[in-house]
Amino acid sequence: MKITKNVFKSMFAVSILGLASTSCEMTNLEEASMESAEILAATGLSSSPNIVYQETFEGSDPFSFAHKQLSEDYSLTIATSPVVDGSNSGRFELNDYDPMVSNGTRAEVLFPELSYNERWYSYSLYLPSKDFQIDSNNDIISQWHQGSGSGSPTTTLRIKNDRFFLKSGPTKEERKDYDIAAVKKDAWNEFVFHIVHSSGSDGLVEVWMNGEKVLNIEGGNMNKDYDLPRWKIGIYKDDWNGSETTDSDRRVMFFDNVRLGNQYASYEEMSSVFGESNTVSPEPEEEEEAVSPEPEEEINPEEETNPGDGSDLTDASNPEAGNSGKPIPGKGHGKNK
């Protein structure tokens, strides 16, 4: 794949923003940024500065910006198949016998704190039929989790009986289930979420699945007594805690193109549309070679104490801060032409 110089420059800028969150570990920021830019170039993903965090799994340290809640070496690994873009995806594995992490049976990553209450989120998800068998107990795939100690996930994407659904509401009493679609296994499913996080009437949750808008929920979606939620993805199965069992005992899932966008992002920037829409178009001149990359009653959210453990994450270096300025010209069309 080839990219233009302008694209490369903008990717470079994005990479610096993204890397700010891990700068404490970087001895050579510029070199590391180049690596990230090359990864972005190689995967042909959006170069929009409105994308605050992006994980393509083309590097060696996935979710370097996130707090990881993983119990085993196999809990999160790089996979070469299946993939949406590039050469790799991220493979999460959770078994009933895995040790608990933060008081729960989980393999999850926790994004840094939000600096503003409007954000976009997206990823592609692949569930293998062999290792993701039907279960009448909830799987939580995504959480927007509030409260570092005794909080709860006020909005979650879940699977139950092979159906995707969203659970959302400002309080336990007001939380509702919103059915989305049957789970398609052995195939990629792309989810895009646009959320105005609020406990009041201005709250909004929009969800697209595979290019189609499937939910539009207005009203409160977070608890007014806590700070803005933090995004989590992976797998949380609290019904496996301790000696509890469910219909299944093993969960494997693949993620690719995980993105968090700021309030200026758009659906087009967040969606991968499986290859075409957001890829960088080659131009005949000024080309450069891309470098090859290297819970509620049934969920007991209260049991999920310490979702953050948070001590190793501070928001002092929150890269979102640098991205909160003016809207970017051309917003809504993240690709370069």
Which stretch, 10-18, 88-96, 217-225, 298-306, contacts Ca ion (CB under 5 A)?
88-96
Q: Which residues contact 253 (CB under 8 A, 6 or more apart)?
A: 91, 92, 125, 126, 127, 128, 132, 141, 235
Which residues 250-309 are close enough to bind Ca ion by CB under 5 A? 256
In the bound complex, what is the minimum distance in angstroms from residue 191's beta carbon to Ca ion?
16
Burial 185-217 (b: 16+ CB within 10 A, else e): beebbbbbbbbbbbbeeebbbbbbbbeeebbeb
Q: Of 164, 136, 178, 192, which Cα lies nearest the Cα of 253? A: 164
CB of 84 to Ca ion, least distance (A): 6
Residue nearest to Ca ion (CB): 86
- Sole binder of Ca ion in the list 53, 57, 132, 254 (CB under 5 A): 57
Instruction: Give CA–CA dist 186/140, Å, rounded.
Output: 19
Which structure tokens are listed for 96? 């009933």
x/- string (CB under 5 A) for Ca ion, residues 213-242?
---------------------------x--
Candidate residues 72, 96, 249, 309; the one interacting with Ca ion per rule CB under 5 A: 96
Q: Does 33 bind Ca ion (CB under 5 A)?
A: no
Tokens 């990219």 label which residue? 3
Say whether residue 86 binds Ca ion (CB under 5 A): yes
DSSP E strands, 146-249: 153-160, 163-168, 176-182, 188-196, 204-209, 212-218, 230-236
Q: How far apart are CA 266 and CA 264, in angstroms?
A: 7
110-129 footprint of Ca ion as x/- string (CB under 5 A): --------------------
Give the shortest CB-30-to-Ca ion separation in angstroms: 24
Give me the least distance between CB of 218 and Ca ion, in Å please: 34
Q: Is there binding between residue 190 and Ca ion (CB under 5 A)?
A: no
Query: For residue 268, what is the enclosing H or E element?
Result: helix 267-270
Q: Which stretch binds Ca ion (CB under 5 A): 69-77, 93-101, 158-166, 327-335?
A: 93-101
What is the radius of gyration, based on Cα positions, of the chain?
Answer: 19
Q: Is 191 in the site for Ca ion (CB under 5 A)?
A: no
Binding site residues, Ca ion, CB under 5 A: 56-57, 85-86, 88, 96, 240, 256
